[in-house]
Amino acid sequence: MRVIAGKHKGRALKAVPGQKTRPTTDKIKESVFQMIGPYFHGGRCLDLFAGSGSLGIEALSRGMDEAIFIDKQGKAIQTIKNNLKTLDLTEETEVYRNDAFRAIKVLAKRGLTFQLVFLDPPYKIGKYGALIDSIMSHQILGESGFIYCEHDASENILCKNSYLTLFKQQVYGGTTGITIFQKGEK
């Protein structure tokens, strides 16, 4: 696992030890970031269910100013902190051990908005609809912001929010699905 592009291109990332996390493959990361724009011009991203932090780290490498990483596993939090320290990204990041729904509420109370939100929960407990509803009802997605959902290829992620449009949907290798929504009226 490595950073694909940007200022940290080629740098190795450590994976979370054990079998509880499923890292996003380099091939999927590369493809996704080509879809949503190869480089960002500032902004903030939120990596929920962050695991090793590879998605948020990739966004930082490609030009995001800040990233917040959330995971409820202790091993994941330690891995994220180690990866951020190795890449000297501790100043522009925050890392919290928390449940995704509680984290969304806390971030909303702080008045934070994000240009990019990564949702990559364990496939069996997805709750994508409820997570997207929470993100939108707490108004943490910025104008023209993206919500990235990584899911089992057999799932069809739907969104009924009138402020989100389907940006891209794709299946990789028959097992992993990607659905990306963008904020903007239908």
pLDDT given for residue 123 in this prediction: 72
For the chain, which domains are there? Answer: 26-183 (3.40.50.150)
pLDDT given for residue 131 in this prediction: 93
Query: Which residues, in sequence order, are CB contacts of 14 under 8 Å at separation 6+?
Result: 1, 52, 79, 82, 83, 86
Q: Model confidence over 69-117: pLDDT tens digits?
A: 999 999 999 999 999 999 999 999 999 999 999 999 999 999 999 999 9
One-letter amino acid of 52? S
pLDDT given for residue 21 in this prediction: 67
pLDDT given for residue 39 in this prediction: 65
pLDDT given for residue 22 in this prediction: 67
pLDDT given for residue 100 in this prediction: 94
Task: Note whether 91 and 119 are within 8 A (CB).
Answer: no
pLDDT given for residue 157 in this prediction: 84
How far apart are the C-alpha atoms of 172 and 153, rounded to whole Å?
Answer: 8
Q: pTM of the predicted model, to two decimals?
A: 0.92
pLDDT given for residue 127 in this prediction: 87
Alpha carbon separation from 174 to 53, 118, 120, 170 (Å, rounded): 24, 21, 17, 10
Q: What are the residue ranges in the chain where pLDDT is below 70?
A: 19-22, 38-39, 126, 185-186
